[in-house]
Amino acid sequence: MIQKKVKIVSNLQVVPEHFKMVLEAPEISQEAKPGQFLHIRIHEGLNPLLRRPFSIHRITSSQIEILYKIRGRGTEILSQHKSGELLDVIGPLGNGFPLPVTSNPKPVTSILAAGGVGVAPLAFLAEKLREIRNQKSKIKIIALLGAKTRDYILCEKEFKNFCEEIKVATEDGSWGFKGLVSDLLKKILTPNPKSETRIYAAGPILMLQEIKKIANMFKILAFGSLEENIACGLGGCWGCVVKTSQGYKRVCKEGPVFNLEEILWE
Ligand SMILES: Cc1cc2nc3c(=O)[nH]c(=O)nc-3n(C[C@H](O)[C@H](O)[C@H](O)COP(=O)(O)OP(=O)(O)OC[C@H]3O[C@@H](n4cnc5c(N)ncnc54)[C@H](O)[C@@H]3O)c2cc1C
């Protein structure tokens, strides 16, 4: 884990209210794993005081991308930063997605289910899974991308490079399947005893809760990246805990990725 002031290479809008920021951060990118996050000090002032967490979206050997949606004051300020400016960043933080073992003789179908900007950590994961697949592992990668409307679909082109299959769900039916990404997931899942299926999900909490139910129904593993307000990001303040079957766990330290089976939502 490194804390550093890093240079903004670019910070551009990709779809309405969503931006992609590229940071020059070789020390962090070389350690990063899919599902981990950066804790970013939004600016030098005191408001907002707390850093904001963002998943690592893509990496190269020297750069890191984040993909973010404007939600409140912090992300609004973030979107106004220009290339060449410096940002104080801590990362990579947290535990990422468990990856399939290359020696597993059984074919593994990895279904990546993204709700909106939840696509951010899953793009890095898809690229990593493709790398594992290229080492002759029998992995099939399917991406399900959910968005409000066609105008909000993120990263379709990137996922086409990494996945065998890609399906889109829009809430208004303006592109692909009409409905939520969890409805689409339910529709495409078929029990197959000859292959192991794993779901990797990121998105709104209601979507993760629904995916937990679907995974239970089909008796398959589902890992989800959880979002909570994170203060210190280092496991010290216990401000971001979630209730699990093994007691309270910190989203910033034991997470943000959890086996959804263990999360006890009220
Ligand atoms: C691990 C992780 C990864 C994430 N990855 C992404 C991503 O890739 N892309 C993306 O768009 N979003 C991501 N998010 C969500 C993102 O962090 C929030 O959208 C962002 O923090 C919102 O900040 P804001 O100031 O714009 O919003 P606001 O809504 O203004 O801020 C959040 C609200 O909560 C309050 N708050 C913030 N932090 C705390 C805290 N620790 N304790 C108490 N109150 C607090 C603020 O004061 C404010 O009221 C991620 C979240 C987590 C936990």
Calculate how far, in angstroms, residue 44's C-alpha sits from the geometric centre of ligand 1. Answer: 18
28-30-34 Cα angle (round to 5): 85
Chain segment 198-238, per-residue pLDDT in tens: 999 999 999 999 999 999 999 999 999 999 999 999 999 99
Burial-class residue 162 by CB neighbours within 10 Å (0-12, 13-18, 19+): buried
Calculate how far, in angstroms, residue 51's C-alpha sits from the geometric centre of ligand 1. Answer: 9
pLDDT at 133: 86
Give yes or no for residue 184 having a pLDDT over 90: yes
Calculate how far, in angstroms, residue 48's C-alpha sits from the geometric centre of ligand 1. Answer: 11
Query: Which of 23, 36, 47, 55 for a ligand 1 pocket mutation test, highest count of atoms within 8 Å of Cβ?
Result: 55
Give yes or no for residue 193 having a pLDDT over 80: no
State the average pLDDT over residues 186-200.
Answer: 88
Q: What are the CB-based long-range contacts (under 8 Å, 24+) for 12-16?
A: 13/79, 14/67, 14/154, 15/151, 15/152, 15/153, 15/154, 16/151, 16/152
Selected residue with higher pLDDT from 173 and 108: 173
Closest ligand 1 atom to Cα of 94: 1
Q: How confident is the model at residue 146 (pLDDT cuts 50, 70, 90)?
A: very high
Query: Which of 38, 71, 154 for a ligand 1 pocket mutation test, highest count of atoms within 8 Å of Cβ?
Result: 71
Give yes or no for residue 260 having a pLDDT over 90: yes
Closest ligand 1 atom to Cα of 18: 11
Chain segment 89-115, per-residue pLDDT in tens: 999 999 999 998 767 778 889 999 999
Calculate how far, in angstroms, residue 194's C-alpha sits from the geometric centre of ligand 1. Answer: 41
pLDDT at 105: 76
Q: Which residues does residue 87 pair with via DSSP β-bridges, in sequence order?
A: 6
Residues 166 and 126: beta-carbon distance below 8 Å: no
Give yes or no for residue 45 having a pLDDT over 90: no
pLDDT at 135: 80
Closest ligand 1 atom to Cα of 52: 21
Query: Which of 41, 68, 81 for a ligand 1 pocket mutation test, highest count of atoms within 8 Å of Cβ?
Result: 68
Q: Whose CA is nearest to atom 32 of ligand 1?
A: 72
In angstroms, the Cα distances linking 170 to 41, 94, 120, 153, 214 are 33, 31, 17, 8, 19
Dihedral angle sign, alpha carbons of residues 241, 244, 249, 250: negative
What structural domains and CATH numbers belong to the chain?
A: 2-93 (2.40.30.10), 108-225 (3.40.50.80)
Calculate how far, in angstroms, residue 43's C-alpha sits from the geometric centre of ligand 1. Answer: 15
Closest ligand 1 atom to Cα of 252: 1
Calculate how far, in angstroms, residue 53's C-alpha sits from the geometric centre of ligand 1. Answer: 6
- Please give the share of the chain, as a percent, with pLDDT higher than 70: 99
Q: Whose CA is nearest to atom 34 of ligand 1?
A: 229
Give yes or no for residue 152 having a pLDDT over 90: yes
pLDDT at 44: 87
